[in-house]
Amino acid sequence: MRSIIPSQLVRSIRYIAGRIGNAARDLLPIVVVIAIFQLVIIRQPLPDFGTILIGSLMVVIGLSMFIQGLEMALFPIGEHMAHELARKGSLFWLLVFAFALGFSTTVAEPALIAVSQKSANIAAQGGLLDNNPGTLNRYALGLRLTVAVSVGAAILIGVLRILLNWPLHVMIIGGYVVVMLITVIAPEEIIGIAYDAGGVTTSTITVPLVTALGVGLATVIRGRNPLLDGFGLIAFASLLPMIFVMVYGITVFGI
């Protein structure tokens, strides 16, 4: 017993250190670029340097804990469900699963939480929303749920596309046309955040899971080329949020 515990401890410390190293690598390019600009071009002390340093540490540790927790709790459940569904062979539950995967990985996306909060604050500063915490939180939550539903719908459509072999480029180009048409009637203040929502949704958590789903499906179904059919799920996940968020903007702010 005694000899086991230290080696386990060493292993788990090494593991956690590795995780934090991964998260730090995410932050490193930003640190390098900003350091160069501060030292060579701006040549001014960075205000609140201490706070920023502590904050960056919190970001790194928080992100690594978050991903670690997902791998412990969410991913095994997801894999388990995918397995069960494949065994059942039911199209309906596969589509429900596709939707749930898109929805749940997006609703907990940290960047989306941050940006929707920011968007609520900006809208309040611009006098579009009442500046009280209740209204702002409702708006931010509504924005997040809208985006999450749209990503769920996007993954669902993407899976249908792989199953039924619909042409990707026709659908994407059709989507672009819809984006442009809605832009004409959407309120000006929602357009920026709506266009951004497409890029915010598909980050750290969503991409690996969704790409794996797509390539996996295309590999399993006969007559599908993983390169041609497996990719393309993320494209929908970047496109549909723009449309849904603009519709959300129309319902909140009016035309």
Q: Is 4 or 22 the residue whose CB approaches other proteins more closely?
A: 22
Quote the least distance from Cβ 6 to other proteins, whole Å. Answer: 22
What residue spans of 39-187 are helical by DSSP H? 49-69, 75-88, 91-107, 110-125, 133-164, 168-185
Nearest to 164 by CA among 231, 87, 224: 224
Quote the least distance from Cβ 167 to other proteins, whole Å. Answer: 10
Quote the least distance from Cβ 248 to other proteins, whole Å. Answer: 14
d(CA 106, CA 179): 21
Q: Is 4 or 227 the residue whose CB approaches other proteins more closely?
A: 227
Site track for other proteins across 143-182, x = CB under 8 A = --x--x-------------------xx--xx--x--xx--
Taking CB under 8 A as the rule, does residue 204 contact other proteins?
yes
- Count of residues interacting with other proteins (CB under 8 A): 109
Query: Which residues, 50 to 69, sit near other proteins by CB under 8 A?
Result: 51-69
Q: Is 10 or 26 the residue whose CB approaches other proteins more closely?
A: 26
Taking CB under 8 A as the rule, does residue 201 contact other proteins?
yes
d(CA 112, CA 150): 13
Taking CB under 8 A as the rule, does residue 195 contact other proteins?
yes
Nearest to 210 by CA among 109, 63, 101, 88: 101
3-state secondary structure of 128: coil
Binding residue for other proteins, selected from 11, 21, 208, 221, defined by CB under 8 A: 208
Binding residue for other proteins, selected from 82, 237, 240, 243, defined by CB under 8 A: 237
Q: Is 5 or 170 the residue whose CB approaches other proteins more closely?
A: 170
Taking CB under 8 A as the rule, does residue 25 contact other proteins?
yes
Binding residue for other proteins, selected from 9, 10, 17, 30, defined by CB under 8 A: 30
Torsion of CA 149, 150, 154, 156, to 10 degrees: 20
Taking CB under 8 A as the rule, does residue 135 contact other proteins?
no
Taking CB under 8 A as the rule, does residue 199 contact other proteins?
yes
d(CA 236, CA 214): 12
Tokens of 96: 């429900």
Quote the least distance from Cβ 43 to other proteins, whole Å. Answer: 9
Q: Is 113 or 250 the residue whose CB approaches other proteins more closely?
A: 113
In the chain, % helix, strand, coil (3-state, to 5) comes to 85, 0, 15
Q: Is 111 or 160 the residue whose CB approaches other proteins more closely?
A: 111
d(CA 133, CA 139): 10
d(CA 149, CA 105): 11
The Cα angle at residue 180 between residues 174 and 173, in degrees rounded to 5: 20
